[in-house]
Amino acid sequence: MEKRNIGSLSVSPIGLGCMSMSHGYGPSDEKTSIQLLNEALDVGYDFLDTATMYGGGRNEELLAKALKTRRQEYVLASKCALFSQDGKPTIDGRAETIKAQCEASLQRLKTDVIDLYYLHRLDPKVPIEESVGALANLVREGKIREIGLSEVSADTLRRAHDIHPIAAVQSEYSLWTRLPEIKMLDVCESLGTTFVPFSPLGRQFLTGKAQEASCLTEGDIRTSNARPRFETEAFAQNSKLLEPLREVAQEFNCSLAQLALAWIIALPNRAGKQTLIPIPGTKHIAYMRENIAAMNVNLPLDVAEYVSSLIDDDKVIGARYNDRQMKVMDSERDRN
C-alpha cells in the first residue's frame, strides 16, 4: 500500500499509538513493550506516537531505550502542553512551557529532532496563535520538523494555520465516534492538513474484546474519564451494534479490529484520495500484528459506506468522555 503524507513526512497508512505501554490502561511490562516496539518496526510500522503526558515522560524514555539503534527507521511524533501536575492533568500552552517541554522530550527520546510535534490540548487561557508561534520557533531552531494539533475545533485549526502550516490534526475518530465528520475532515482537506485518528478501535470496543467498566483494572481510563460508554447498561446496548459488523468481517475474512481500521484507511476525501492515518494503540504483541494486517483488507467504497451506516454517534449510548473531560475539549459539540 502506498505511503501517506504528513507535511514533509511520509508514513504507512497505519501507525502505532504507544500510550498504553506506559499510561491509561493499567499495568504493562517493559520487557514485552520493548519486544513489541522492535517487532512493530519489523512488520511495517514506521509512525510511532507518544507524548509528554504518557507515564509522565516514561513512554518517551521507553521508546528511546527500545529503539536506540533504530531511530532512522520510523517517524516520531510526540506532544506538549498536557501533563500531570500533583497527580492531576494540567494544560499549559505558554511559549516558555512548550519550549521547556520540547527540550525535556528531546532528552528523554535521545534524539536531536522530533518529526511531528503536537500541541496536545488547547490551553483556554492562551491564544492558539501564541502556542503555534512557539512551535514555529522550534521548527526554525531545527528541534521539530512539523507541527500538529490534537483535539481542536475546525475554527482553531484555521487560526493556527494562519500562523504556520499545520501538518496534522489528531483527534478521536472511529466507527462510533464521528465528530470530525461535522467540519474537521473537510477543513483538513482544504488546508492540506493530514487527519490522524486516535482510538480508531473505540478503546477496544470495536474489536469485540472489551469488557464493561466494572470488570476493568484500576488505572484504566475506561473506568474513569472514558467511562460513559462502558457503564454496564450502556455497554450491553452498545455491544448489540457489533453483530452486523461481525457479518461483514466474516465476509472479508478479517477480525472486527481489522474491519474498523480498514474502514478508516479506505475512506476517500472529496477529491477521492485516501489520506487518513489511524494510530491504534496496544501493549499486546498479538494485537499489534493483527492491527497492521488491516492494510491487507481491501474494503470497496460501497462496503465502507454500508459499514458507516451500521454504527455511529447517534446509535451509541453514552458520551466518549465524562462531563469534566468534555468541558476541556475544543471541538464541535453538536451537529448544527
Catalytic residues: 54
State the cell numbers at 108: 528523554
Alpha helices in the chain (DSSP H): 30-43, 58-66, 95-109, 128-140, 154-163, 184-191, 232-239, 242-251, 256-266, 285-292, 301-310, 323-327
φ, ψ (nearest 5 deg) of residue 316:
-90, 140
Say how far apart CA 164 and CA 183 lie, in whole Å. Answer: 20
Strands 144-150 and 168-172: parallel
φ, ψ (nearest 5 deg) of residue 243:
-60, -50
At a CB cut-off of 8 Å and minimum separation 6, what does 256 contact? 206, 207, 208, 242, 245, 246, 249
Is residue 272 within 8 Å of residue 7, measured between CB atoms?
Answer: no
Is residue 279 within 8 Å of residue 196, measured between CB atoms?
Answer: yes
